Structure 1
Amino acid sequence: MMLKDELREKARKVCAIPETYKLEIEDYAEDGTRAVFIWNHPEEMDVGIWIELDENGKLVDFTKDEINPPLNAALLHVEELKQTALQFAESHYPGAVQEFEEEFVKKSDNQLRVSYIQKELNLPLPFTGFYITITEYGEIVRFHYDGSAENVVIPQHIEAEKKVRSEFLKEVKMNLKIANLEESIYENADNRPHLVYEPKLPFYRRRVDGLLNELSEEEEETKVPVYVKIPKMEAGSIPESLTELDGSMIKIREQDLDDAIGEVYRKQEAEPVISESDPSIIGFFNKRNENTVKLKRNKETGQLLGLYSFIERRGPLMMSEEECKEIAFQFLSGIFPDAHLYFQLDQSQMESDEDRVLFCFDLIHHDIPILFGTARINIDRTTGKVTHYLGADVDPDLIISINPDPAISEETAQKFFEQVFQIEKQWSKEYKDNEESYYQLVYSPVYPNLSGELRFIKAENGEMVVGKQF
C-alpha cells in the first residue's frame, strides 16, 4: 500500500494539471483501497480534473473536463486517435490490450470512445476491461478501468430461446399510464405527457438454465393509496414564505441546469464552520452545503421545481400532523393555484417522526396512474417550515387536456409489442449479501429492430417510444 504523498505524486503524473487549478479534494478511503484527487478550475466551478487511484497507485478512473481546444491543434484521423488511446491504456496497464477484446470504437461530435472488454462464451462480460475517450486533437479526457472477471458461472444447461421467449410473452401486461416524454430520455419526444401503454414483463431477465430462484424479481410490497382531496386555498400564498428563505438569506451561487436554474442561498452571517483543512469529499460538500437552502426553478416561468434545506435547527414548536398538513396544502397551492383540481394527498405514503412529517401528493387524472407524478413535501414540526420539496415531473396543467380513452386497445398494443420483442443471451453481474459477486448467463429482452429499448407504446396512435442510448 502506497503512502499518501506517493499517491498524490502518482496522481499528478496522470495528465498535465494547469498551475492555476486548485487541489480541491484529496480523499482517502478508510480501508485504504482507493484515493481520489480533484483539481478545480479557478473560475469555472464545474470544470476540473478527477483522478482515482487504487491502493497501489494504479489509475482506476480519470476525467478531465474540456474547456477550449489547444490553439492550432491538428485534428487526427480515427486510427491515430485509437492508437493514442490504447497507448495510454498500455502505459497504465501493460498487456491490457491483449488481455481484453475490442468492444467498439465510436466517433461522436469531437470525441472518440474506445472500449475493450472481457468475453466468455463469445459474449461480453459487463463491468470488465476498460474504456477511453479522446478528443479529435488527441487529448485523453476520460479513462476507466474495471479489470478482469473472477467468478464466471458456466451454465450446465441452456433452455431453447424460442421456449423462453414464449414464457416471457405469456404473462406480459400492457399497463395504461400517463408519462411525460422528455426529449433528453426518449427518441422523438416532445416534452409533453401522453397516454401510453407500458409493457410489464413477468421478469426482467431469466437464467438460461430455466431456474428462477436467484434472478426472478422480488415483488415489492405495494401500499394501497388512501386519497384525501386538497381543499381550495385562498389565492396569494407565496410558497417561498413557507420555507426558511427570508431577508437574512443571500444568493451565493446560481447554475444553469439546461432545462432549469439552480440557486443556492445562505444566511449572511452563517459562513461554513467546516475546517478549510478538511480536503475530503465529505468535507468539500459540507463546506458547500452547510447553512444553505437550494432551489431549482423552471428556466422560463421561475416556478419552483424543487427545494432542499441544509439548515439544521430545532424550533420551539411541536406541530401536529394536521397542522403540518395545512402548511403542505398552502405550499402546494402556492405553486399550483389549482392544485385541488388535479392533486390528491396519499395518506398511505405519509411518514412522520418527532421532528418532521413527509407528505406525498399524486396527480390524478381519471384514475390513470401518472409516472413520476408525485410531489413530496417535508414539514419541520419544530419550525413549521418546508424543508424539502420535490415536484412532480409532469406539468399538471398539461394533464387535464389528455383524453383518457385510448385509441388503440390493450390487445393491439400487445401485438405491436410482440412484433419487436426478442431475447438474447447476456452475462449479468449478480450480488449476494456478504458474498463475492459472480456472473450468471441470462436471457434478456432486446429490440433488434429499434434504436434502443422499447419503453412505451402510445395509446393514441400505436407509435413506439424508445429510450435513448447513453
Structure 2
Amino acid sequence: MPELSAEQLRLRAEKFALDHYPGALKPFSLTCTKSADSGTLFFYEQEVMGLPLPMSGFRVKVHRSGIVSDFRYFGRQTKPKIPESIVPKEQLLRQIADTAKLDLRLDFLHKSVDDTEKDELRLVYEPSSRWMHFRADGKEEVREAADVDAESEEPSEWLPVPELPAVKAPAVRTAQDAQELLGIDPDRYELLREVEMEDCMTGIVWRRRDWQPAAIEDRSLDAFFRQRTEETLKAKIDPVGGRLVSFIRFEEEIPGELRLSRDACLDIALGFLARMQPGLAPFLQLRQQEEAHDSDREHFDFRIGKQGVWLELEHIRLSVNKTSGRIGHVTGPSVDPVQLQAVEVTPLIDEPEARRIYAEALDLKLGWETDYSGYGKRRRYVLKYRLVHKEKGREIRWIDARTGELICSKLE
C-alpha cells in the first residue's frame, strides 16, 4: 500500500473528526503535528491570544497508510481571563540570571529523552529553576502546605556501606538465573510468564502453586488485574547487561520462625546486593533509619555516588522480611560500578561560569497551563512563562560540568 503525503494524512484526520463531530473544525486550529509510530499525530486546539489551551479540541493519529489509529476529543473549554498586564520577559530573565542556583550532581542521561548521542553517566549542573514556571501577570504562586512541610524536614543522615568479601555473582539473563539469585523455591512457585518488554528488558512472573482463583466470576477490569497479580512474584531483568533490575512480591507472606534484628537484615541486604551488583558497595551510602518495631519488614534506602557527588534520582531500595530473611522487594540502579569508576567528578567549569552559560541561553515562552489551585467542574487556566533554550525552544535540563555543553530535553 503506497504511503500518503502529509497533506493527505491531514485531510484523513479532518474527515474522521468531522464524521464524528460535525463542525469540529470551526472552533479549533491545527496547532501541532508530530511523527509517532509509523504515523502522524495532528493536534487541533482552541486558541486564546494565539496560544493553545491544554486539553481542548481533539487529537488524531493517522498511520502512514491513511488508517486512523487513535482519536481523542476534548471539546471546547471556557475561555480564560486574559491578564490586564504581562511582565516583560526581560525583567524575569534578569531575575533568573541573578538568583539561579546550580546543583552539581551525577546523572544518567538517556538518549531517548535527552538531546545526547548515547546513554551515559555524566557530571552535570542542574538548574534549580528548571522546573519553574512564572505567572505572566507577575502574581506570586500560592504555595501548598505540603511544599512548606517538605522544606522543613530534617536532612537525612547517610552512613558508609562496608565493603563485603567478593562473592560469585553469575549473570542474570534468564528466568532461571533470576530465580536462583532471588532464592525462589520452584516447588512452591511456578513460572507464569517471561515477556520481552519495549526497553529491551525481560519481565518475569511467578505464582504460588497453591493459589486458587476466586470462585465468583467477575469480568471487571479490577478483577482482571487482581487475577494477574494475586500471589505473584514479579522481576525485571536486563538480559544484555546480565543483571536484575527490580523485584517485588505481591503475596501475603506466611510469617517464618526467625526474629531478625535490623542489623541482621542489613547483613542479608548487603549480601544480596553483593551478588546482584558486585563492586557497588564503595559507591553506596545507607540512609540512617530506626528499626521498624511495628512491621515484619526492614526497609533500606541506599544512595549512589562518588566522592561526595550523588545521583539525584538513582537510589537502591530494598526490604527484608524479619521472620524469614527473604527479600521483599528491590529496585536496582541504571548505572554499574564500571561506569561509576570511569566517570570524572571534578568539574572543569565552575558554578559562576556555568550560571553565565545557562543565563545566556535562556528564553521565556508564553503558554496557557491548567490551573490546579482552584476547585470546580470547569477547567481553569493561567498564563505562564516557561523556561526554554532560546534557539531550540526546549527545556534546558543540565550543563555539563566538564565541557559547559547545554543539554536539552528532546521534547518541546
Cα RMSD (Å): 2.6
**Corresponding position: 1:247 with 2:186:** yes
The answer to whether residue 67 in structure 2 is matched with residue 131 in structure 1 is no
The sequence identity of aligned pairs, in percent, is: 27
For the residues of structure 2 that align with 1:126 and 1:132, how far apart are their CA atoms? 15
How far does residue 367 in structure 1 lie from its aligned partner after superposition? Answer: 0.7
Measure how far apart 1:229 and its partner are.
Answer: 2.3
Q: Which amino acid aligns with 1:137?
A: S
Letter in 1 for 2:68: I
Taking the aligned partners of 1:319 and 1:237, their CA distance within structure 2 comes to: 25
1:118 matches 2:46: yes
Matched, 1:327 2:255: no
1:273 alignment counterpart: 213
Match of 1:409 among 347, 350, 366: 350
Matched, 1:393 2:334: yes
Alpha-carbon separation, structure 1, partners of 2:234 and 2:329: 9
Q: Deviations over 1:231-257 (max 9, x none)?
A: 233444778667461222232212222
Residue 260 of structure 1 pairs with residue 191 of structure 2? no
Aligned residues: 397
How far did 1:434 drift?
Answer: 4.7
Q: Distance in 1 between matches of 2:251 and 2:364?
A: 50
2:237 aligned partner, one-letter code: R
1:225 paired with 2:156, answer: yes
1:300 positional shift: 1.5
Q: Determine whether 1:380 maps to 2:311.
A: no
Query: What displacement does 1:323 show?
Result: 2.7
Corresponding letter in the other structure for 1:225: S
| 1:207–1:440 Cα contact (<8 Å) kept | yes
Q: CA 1:74/1:161 → structure 2, altered by over 3 Å: closer, same or farther?
A: same
Matched, 1:432 2:373: yes
- Residue 186 of structure 2: SS of its match in structure 1? coil
Name 1:341's counterpart in structure 2: 282
Tell me the alpha carbon deviations over residues 262-304 of structure 1, each in whole angstroms, 9 at most, x when there is no partner: 111223x244514683222221211111221111112213211
What CA distance in whole angstroms lies between the structure 2 residues aligned with 1:348 and 1:165?
42
TM-score by length of 2: 0.88
Residues 177-220 of structure 1, C-alpha deviations (whole Å, 9 max, x = no match): 11111122212242221111111118701111211132799453
Distance 1:275 1:448 in 2: 62
Instruction: Note if 1:282 corresponds to 2:222.
Output: yes
Displacement of 1:151 in angstroms is 6.2
Letter in 2 for 1:111: G
Alignment of 1:173-252 (within 5 A): 173-201=101-129, 204-214=132-142, 218-219=147-148, 220-221=150-151, 222-236=153-167, 243=182, 245-248=184-187, 249-252=189-192
User: In the alignment, which residue of structure 1 is the partner of 2:398?
Assistant: 456
Paired with 2:64 and 2:111, the residues of 1 have a C-alpha distance of: 27
Q: Cα deviation per residue 1:80-106 (whole Å; 9 max; x = unaligned)?
A: 221221122222222211121111234
TM-aligned CA deviation for residue 144 of structure 1: 1.5
* Alignment counterpart, residue 385 of structure 2, candidates 443, 450, 459: 443
1:420 alignment partner in structure 2: 361
Given that 1:351 and 1:359 are in contact with CA atoms closer than 8 Å, whether structure 2 keeps it comes out as no
Partners of 1:302 and 1:225 lie apart in 2 by 33
Q: 1:203 to 1:87 in 2, by over 3 A?
A: closer
**Alpha-carbon shift at residue 318 of structure 1 (Å):** 4.3
Gapped runs of 5+ residues in structure 1? 1-72
User: Tell me, what secondary structure is at the counterpart of 2:367?
Assistant: strand
